[in-house]
Amino acid sequence: DVALQEPLDTALHWGEDKAVAVLNKDGARFEVSDVRSCDFVEYDSVAKIMQLYIALMTGTDEGETLSKFRFLMRWPQLSDSEKHDKYSEFACHELHVFLAQKDRPFFERVVRPFLENKHAKTFVDYWLLGETDSLKQYLSHEQISKLNYVERILLLQA
């Protein structure tokens, strides 16, 4: 039965609240005061997050593009040859950041040399290469305003 068991006080204002809690692996806890009043889903892997976004974006151009990157869910199981083939087909900043975080040996062996020899480097290229001196050019108000939110966060981490 999903009907409201006790009526809400009409003299008060009520609204629905949606919250996200990020829990680290260090034993952090999240307590739910009344499990009957909430939905709970745990996303503890890249594969689960990827499936969520693909489902949410089904029927859109972005969803179609994202679904092409399903191979990332099984990246660790791919052979070196398959990794090279996928990298050749899908090389982009997003894949570079993923590889820098999730497969550092492949990034160092394949992506880094590509980025180092790239003629027109971008903010993300400099960030991935750890070229902090080159990132200083993005510290002016004019340049920061040209960065997207993710790039601004990466600049803060540099």
* Per-residue pLDDT tens over the stretch 33-42: 777 777 777 7
At 105 the pLDDT is 97
**The tokens of 128 are what?**
């991935």
pTM assigned to the model: 0.71
At 25 the pLDDT is 66
Mean pLDDT of 85-105: 96
Contact 99, 114 (CB under 8 A): no
Which of the two residues, 86 and 26, has the higher pLDDT score?
Answer: 86
| Contacts for 70 with CB less than 8 Å, ≥ 6 apart | 50, 54
CA-CA distance, 158 to 154, in Å (whole number)?
Answer: 6
Closest to 116 in 3D by CA, of 98, 101, 134: 134
What's 108's DSSP letter?
Answer: I
Q: Look at 53-57, 67-71, 87-91 and tell me which has the smallest mean pLDDT.
A: 53-57
At 2 the pLDDT is 64
Alpha-carbon torsion (8, 14, 18, 21), positive or negative:
negative
Long-range (24+ apart) CB contacts under 8 A made by 33-37 are none
Residue with tokens 């593009």: 65
At 89 the pLDDT is 96
What's 74's DSSP letter?
Answer: G
Looking at the predicted structure, is the pLDDT value of residue 103 above 80?
Answer: yes
At 45 the pLDDT is 83
Which of the two residues, 22 and 65, has the higher pLDDT score?
Answer: 65
Residue 120's pLDDT band, with cuts at 50, 70 and 90, is: very high
Residue with tokens 């975080």: 101
At 6 the pLDDT is 80
At 81 the pLDDT is 97
